[in-house]
Amino acid sequence: MAHLGAKIEFKDGKLLVPDNPVIPFIEGDGVGPDVWRAARRVIDAAVERAYRGSRKVAWQEVYAGDKGNERYGTPLPEETIEAIRQYIVGIKGPLTTPVGGGYRSLNVSLRQRLDLFACVRPVRYLSGTPSPVKRPELVDITVFRENTEDVYAGIEWSKGSPEAREIIDFLNARLSTSIRTDSGVGIKPISETATKRLVRMAMEYAIANHKKVVTLVHKGNIMKFTEGAFRDWGYEVIRDEFRDKVVFESELNGDVPPSDKVLVNDRIADSMFQQILLRPSEYSVLAVPNLIGDFISDALAAQVGGLGMAPGSNVGIPTAIFEATHGTAPKYAGQDKVNPSSLILSGAMMLDYLGWGEAASMIRKGVEKAILDKQVTYDLARQMEGSTLLKCSEFAEAVVERLVQT
């Protein structure tokens, strides 16, 4: 497709971003077109204002989901995967995944095909947002969730299938287990390779962004050789590669950590779910295996106002896709109604990834200001007295009006 842009390059471990980068986008299904239109409007306006026209994204539409089916006869065309691989950075709206049967989750396929091994979700409170907790402003936590392994690897067999029977017979006969023969079977692989690259990415982020604490979250007391190993390999890579930049909780004896070091600790998952409610300010970066990471990302998002407000990304080296964290909300499709903040804020994350931080922080402040002024979509309006109810596109305009240089 013709576009007036240049390719982002990756050389010597660094992104080289031109002033007019080609960025592929997937509009998404259901409410996807509504939230994408709103997000694109805000991203373009922020870039224009922050750089006075000297920078501009050259958007390139690529197809997946319903549009992929219509144009290519498949929900995830090879052209789409190749475009994102080639252009390195992409952004997407939500995609439908039929439950049980049909095709595999498109999101999981995209992550696996492009080896986007970390799901990164910064969870931070924007003033004025209705929240179910008393002190939501204490939450400023970025979750690095492993994206390729664990029970999400998709290695499972249904009850009674030849594969399930074979595995159960093998385990019961050869390894003295006593698994019921009417069980479904799933495999939970967690590797040293995937753990170390995730923890390394979390550490590099913490150091680059002056974060105070990195916490390895796991259920290693029960699943010793998967979740427990995640903790051990996590500590190992930190000790081997970041020793001079960190202090371990076990070295402190209750003392305050030195201000120039990142504090590293670990928490068992069940206790961590209490900690994020009771003492969120003591945590800043979490590195977590896949399944627990899924739960904890959504639990944290709920504390600051729900999924409609939470940005997200799937990141590899160097490929990254920024995405709305909510689904397609089919009952609201085409109504110009839902909250586009998740995709707008994911756009801000994307701009940060490009090194266009001025535009990114303009967007975050613009969204916050619109909410503080009670100019909101239905989901927040129903929880805020005296608010003005806006459509999805009107909310985007309300944010654009509030984009100011800081």
Residue numbers annotated as active site: 152, 219, 270, 294
Q: Give the range of 89-97, 146-154, 210-218, 255-263 binding ligand NAP by CB under 6 A.
A: 89-97
Q: Give the range of 92-100, 173-181, 348-356, 395-403 binding ligand NAP by CB under 6 A.
A: 92-100
C-alpha 140/C-alpha 142 separation (Å) is 7
**CA-CA distances (angstroms) from residue 36 to 88, 162, 271?**
19, 45, 37
Residue 145 engages ligand NAP in binding (rule: CB under 6 A):
no
Residue choice 80, 96, 226, 284 for contact with ligand NAP (CB under 6 A): 96
Residue 375 engages ligand NAP in binding (rule: CB under 6 A):
no
C-alpha 403/C-alpha 398 separation (Å) is 9
Residue 95 engages ligand NAP in binding (rule: CB under 6 A):
yes
Residue 294 engages ligand NAP in binding (rule: CB under 6 A):
no
Contacts of 303 (CB under 8 A, 6+ apart): 123, 125, 131, 132, 133, 136, 139, 276, 277, 280
Task: Between 83 and 338, name the residue whose CB sits nearer to ligand NAP.
Answer: 338
Residue 319 engages ligand NAP in binding (rule: CB under 6 A):
no
Query: Of 221, 158, 143, 230, which is closest to residue 188 (Cα–Cα)?
Result: 230
Least CB distance from residue 75 to ligand NAP, whole Å?
A: 11
> How many chain residues bind ligand NAP (CB under 6 A)?
18
- The b/e string for 109-125 (b: 16+ C-beta within 10 A; e otherwise) is bbbbebebbbbbbbbbb
- The b/e string for 378-405 (b: 16+ C-beta within 10 A; e otherwise) is bbbbeeeeebebbbbbbbbbbbbebbee
For the CA atoms of the chain, what is the radius of gyration?
22
Residue 368 engages ligand NAP in binding (rule: CB under 6 A):
no
Residue choice 148, 265, 328, 375 for contact with ligand NAP (CB under 6 A): 328
Residue 314 engages ligand NAP in binding (rule: CB under 6 A):
no
Residue 379 engages ligand NAP in binding (rule: CB under 6 A):
yes
Bridge partner residues of 339 (DSSP): none
Residue choice 47, 238, 310, 338 for contact with ligand NAP (CB under 6 A): 338
**CA-CA distances (angstroms) from residue 69 to 112, 300, 392?**
20, 34, 26
C-alpha 367/C-alpha 398 separation (Å) is 8
A 10 A CB-CB count for 224 gives 12
Task: Between 267 and 326, name the residue whose CB sits nearer to ligand NAP.
Answer: 326
Residue choice 88, 276, 329, 400 for contact with ligand NAP (CB under 6 A): 329
Which residue number is nearest to ligand NAP in terms of Cβ?
A: 327
Task: Between 36 and 283, name the residue whose CB sits nearer to ligand NAP.
Answer: 36
Residue choice 66, 327, 333, 374 for contact with ligand NAP (CB under 6 A): 327
Residue 94 engages ligand NAP in binding (rule: CB under 6 A):
yes
C-alpha 230/C-alpha 249 separation (Å) is 18
C-alpha 124/C-alpha 113 separation (Å) is 30
Where do contacts with ligand NAP occur on this chain (CB under 6 A)? Answer: 35, 94-97, 107, 307-308, 323, 326-330, 338-339, 342, 379
